[in-house]
């Protein structure tokens, strides 16, 4: 049976735990996690991003996550927690599942950028 969006989302949401903006900020501040914005560049340009977040669009994640790829992002490490967010949490969940498939063990879904911003947490351009 072929996959559907619903089945992919269910699998991703059940595999990638959702955390609050405050939990995410605490993990980033302690150095135990990196936060990644997986939205498209136009979205980030319009709203900014969580302060200190890496911007890796969903379409480039595999190229940045694979340590053997020439375009690997060195701040992504399989032994460090990765917190993802997007517009509402869907792409972040799918991206988190992808990272788990790549061997990342500590992957979390923050949800949407607005969750971070509405919590009064710092934003940058």
Evaluate if residue 2 carries a pLDDT over 90.
Answer: no
Cβ atoms of 78 and 56 within 8 Å: the answer is no
* Dihedral angle sign, alpha carbons of residues 25, 41, 69, 101: positive
pLDDT band at residue 79, thresholds of 50, 70 and 90?
confident
Evaluate if residue 100 carries a pLDDT over 90.
Answer: yes
Confidence at residue 5, expressed as pLDDT on a 0 to 100 scale:
93
pLDDT band at residue 4, thresholds of 50, 70 and 90?
very high
Confidence at residue 61, expressed as pLDDT on a 0 to 100 scale:
97
The single residue listed with the structure tokens 């939205």 is 39
Element (H, E) at 59: none
The total of structural domains in the chain comes to: 1
Average pLDDT over residues 55-66: 97
pLDDT band at residue 42, thresholds of 50, 70 and 90?
very high
Angle at the Cα of 105 (from 76 to 73), degrees rounded to 5? Answer: 10
Alpha helical stretches, state H, the chain: 5-15, 21-29, 41-47, 61-65, 90-101, 113-118
Confidence at residue 19, expressed as pLDDT on a 0 to 100 scale:
98
Cβ atoms of 92 and 85 within 8 Å: the answer is yes
Evaluate if residue 1 carries a pLDDT over 90.
Answer: no
pTM of the model: 0.95
Point out the residues that are catalytic. 86
**Mean pLDDT, the chain, integer:** 96
CATH number of the domain where residue 108 is located: 3.40.250.10
Evaluate if residue 52 carries a pLDDT over 80.
Answer: yes
Residues near 110 by Cβ (< 8 Å), separated by ≥ 6? 18, 19, 20, 21, 24, 35, 83, 84, 85, 89, 92, 116
Task: Supply the range of the domain harboring residue 101.
Answer: 5-124
């Amino acid at each position: 049976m072929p996959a559907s969006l619903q089945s992919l989302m269910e699998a991703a949401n059940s595999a990638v735990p959702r955390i609050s903006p405050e939990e995410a900020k605490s993990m980033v501040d302690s150095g135990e996690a990196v936060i990644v914005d997986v939205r498209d560049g136009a979205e980030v340009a319009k709203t900014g991003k969580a302060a200190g977040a890496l911007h890796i669009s969903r379409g480039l994640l595999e190229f940045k996550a694979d340590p053997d790829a020439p375009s690997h992002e060195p701040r992504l490490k399989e032994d460090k927690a990765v917190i993802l967010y997007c517009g509402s949490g869907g792409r972040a969940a799918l991206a988190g599942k992808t990272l788990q498939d790549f061997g990342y063990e500590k992957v979390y879904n923050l949800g949407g950028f607005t969750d971070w911003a509405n919590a009064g947490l710092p934003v940058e351009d």
